[in-house]
């Protein structure tokens, strides 16, 4: 009897062990096989002709110039189209797609949230499968719902609240609003909703940076100098002191990530680079010495070129003071393109559509692509909007919310963020929506030249069937 019981127990143990092993095995992942495509991999200047790409689950499994054996895969015949990585916008403000500061200050949080949801879908349907939000999203709301599949939208790398010194580019309070650092009273909607905080001094910068990280920020955004679209920060002004910038960099570094900073003047850019900032946003008034410093430190340049466009004067939300500053800024920008072309920094594609309505944001995305191609060429744009952007996103380290593989490339092990484009974007960027017109461009829904959009292995648009 004892031997029998031992035998039964041994058998039950074997069954339990086998069941446990089976339970630990990964479930069968669905496969999608793209055939008859020409691949722009996000890096090289020539396409891989007549290729095949196999997606398994949410990752790219195989990229091959010969046929791939995948009998259980759903097959999509590309018909000679270009297969390329989803586009990446490295300076978005999904949370403040509203016409002007007053509109945001007067809005209920539900209206801001709803506008964010609308913006997220429109970015995705224009082929942007990833965005780095440059301020205004905490990472706990819309991003969470996008990631779990409840809402359509791109991958989001949130920065949390914009951090600015008092009277800096991120101090968006009206004159009658109190400074909570002085009065303890928070009047501003922007501050209550963690869109932007005006904070001063090392201790306050440390506290605000750590709060952003707690709220889900994957990198930190600070305002290091003056800008155009705000009232109380002179265009020529520098922002935080060296010690304040170092505080943000140190706190971010302790979490394994980095700081990006709004900057234009060379003095401000040098201060930020010295403090350890690695992503320079805008940089319109940069000189050659400072650009060389940026290149030597391996930093990235993230500039929205619509800031150089004559069309910018038509932006409805600009005030008389904004327009006055824009006139000054345009004079300072005159050497920008020559300097970039001479020193060739690592560029990432940035749109910076902010304080505008959804149709105007659509128009700006298209015009931004056209401007980048016009000044730097098709390949430079495509790299900036794919692999180079993906390289910078990887610098979020262990805070990277998408750690399984890189984005911005078509390669084995990369995330399956894929566009099928009817044409060759290395020769004609209009297939990705590029448009020389900005505000005069007609309203549209998506981009006609993009026939398929896949993000994370899920197809969100397919006009091939």
pLDDT tens string, the chain, 465 residues long: the values are 444 334 434 443 443 444 444 444 557 899 999 999 999 999 999 999 999 999 999 999 999 999 999 999 999 999 999 999 999 999 999 988 877 677 777 888 888 899 999 999 999 999 999 999 998 877 788 999 999 999 999 999 999 999 988 867 766 766 677 777 766 766 677 777 888 888 999 999 999 999 999 999 999 999 998 887 777 777 788 889 999 999 999 999 999 999 999 999 999 999 999 999 999 999 999 999 999 999 999 999 999 999 888 887 777 778 888 888 788 888 888 999 999 999 999 999 999 988 788 999 999 999 999 999 999 999 999 999 999 999 999 999 999 999 999 999 999 999 999 999 999 999 999 999 999 999 899 999 999 999 999 999 999 999 997
pLDDT score recorded for residue 173: 61
pLDDT score recorded for residue 11: 47
pLDDT score recorded for residue 317: 74
55 three-class SS: strand
pLDDT score recorded for residue 255: 97
CB neighbours of residue 410 within 10 Å: 26
Q: Which residues pair with 302 in a beta bridge?
A: 281, 348
- Give me 306's structure tokens: 């619509």
CB 43 within 8 A of CB 387: yes
CB 102 within 8 A of CB 177: no
Q: How far is CA 197 from CA 138, 161, 205, 228, 287, in A?
A: 13, 6, 10, 18, 30
46 three-class SS: coil
| Rounded Cα distance, 304 and 364, in Å | 10
Q: What does DSSP assign to residue 238?
A: B
Residue 458: in which H helix or E strand, if any?
A: strand 458-462
**Where would I find the beta strands (DSSP E) of 141-278?**
155-157, 162-164, 196-198, 220-223, 259-265
Q: Which residues pair with 221 in a beta bridge?
A: 260
Who's near 212: CB < 8 A, 6+ residues apart?
138, 159, 160, 161, 163, 220
pLDDT score recorded for residue 324: 86
β 82-85/418-421 pair status:
antiparallel
The residue among 130, 146, 148, 131 whose CA lies nearest residue 86 is 130
β 220-223/196-198 pair status:
unpaired
63 three-class SS: strand
| Rounded Cα distance, 362 and 122, in Å | 8
The residue among 303, 381, 399, 446 whose CA lies nearest residue 85 is 381
The residue among 78, 82, 87, 75 whose CA lies nearest residue 48 is 82
β 458-462/450-455 pair status:
antiparallel
């Amino acid at each position: 009897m004892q031997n029998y019981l031992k035998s039964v127990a041994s058998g039950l143990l074997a069954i339990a062990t086998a069941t446990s092993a089976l339970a630990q095995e990964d479930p069968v992942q669905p496969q999608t096989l793209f055939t008859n495509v020409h691949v722009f991999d996000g890096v090289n200047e020539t396409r891989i002709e007549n290729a095949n790409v196999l997606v398994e689950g949410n990752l790219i499994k195989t990229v091959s110039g010969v046929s791939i054996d995948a009998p259980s895969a759903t097959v999509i015949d590309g018909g000679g189209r270009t297969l390329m990585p989803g586009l990446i916008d490295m300076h978005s403000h999904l949370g403040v797609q509203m016409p002007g500061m007053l509109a945001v200050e007067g809005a209920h949080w539900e209206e801001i949230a709803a506008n964010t949801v609308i913006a997220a879908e429109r970015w995705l349907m224009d082929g942007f499968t990833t965005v780095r939000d440059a301020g205004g999203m905490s990472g706990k709301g819309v991003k969470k719902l996008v990631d779990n599949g409840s809402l359509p939208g791109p991958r989001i790398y949130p920065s949390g609240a914009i951090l600015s010194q008092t009277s800096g580019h991120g101090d968006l309070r009206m004159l009658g609003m109190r400074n909570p650092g002085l009065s303890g009273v928070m009047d501003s909607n922007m501050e209550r909703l963690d869109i932007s905080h005006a904070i001063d001094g090392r201790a306050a910068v440390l506290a605000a940076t750590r709060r952003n990280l707690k709220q889900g920020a994957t990198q930190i955004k600070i305002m290091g100098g003056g800008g155009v679209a705000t009232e109380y920060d002179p265009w020529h002004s520098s922002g935080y002191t060296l010690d304040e910038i170092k505080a943000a960099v140190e706190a971010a570094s302790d979490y394994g990530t980095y700081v990006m900073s709004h900057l234009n003047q060379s003095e401000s850019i040098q201060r930020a680079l010295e403090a350890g900032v690695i992503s320079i946003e805008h940089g319109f008034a940069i000189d050659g010495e400072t650009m060389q410093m940026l290149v030597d430190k391996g930093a990235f340049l993230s500039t929205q070129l619509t800031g150089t466009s004559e069309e910018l004067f038509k932006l409805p939300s600009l005030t008389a003071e904004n327009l006055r500053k824009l006139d000054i800024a345009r004079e300072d920008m005159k050497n920008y393109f020559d300097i970039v072309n001479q020193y060739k920094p690592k560029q990432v594609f940035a749109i910076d559509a902010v304080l505008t309505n959804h149709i105007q944001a659509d128009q700006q995305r298209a015009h931004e692509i056209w401007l980048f191609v016009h000044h730097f060429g098709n390949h430079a744009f495509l790299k900036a909007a794919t692999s180079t952007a993906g390289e910078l996103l990887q610098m979020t380290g262990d805070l990277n919310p998408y750690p399984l593989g890189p984005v911005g490339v078509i390669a084995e092990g990369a995330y399956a963020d894929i566009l099928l484009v009817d044409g060759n974007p290395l020769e004609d960027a209009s297939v990705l929506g590029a448009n020389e017109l900005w505000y005069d461009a007609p309203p549209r829904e998506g981009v006609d030249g993009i026939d398929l959009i896949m993000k994370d292995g899920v197809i969100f648009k397919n006009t091939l069937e």
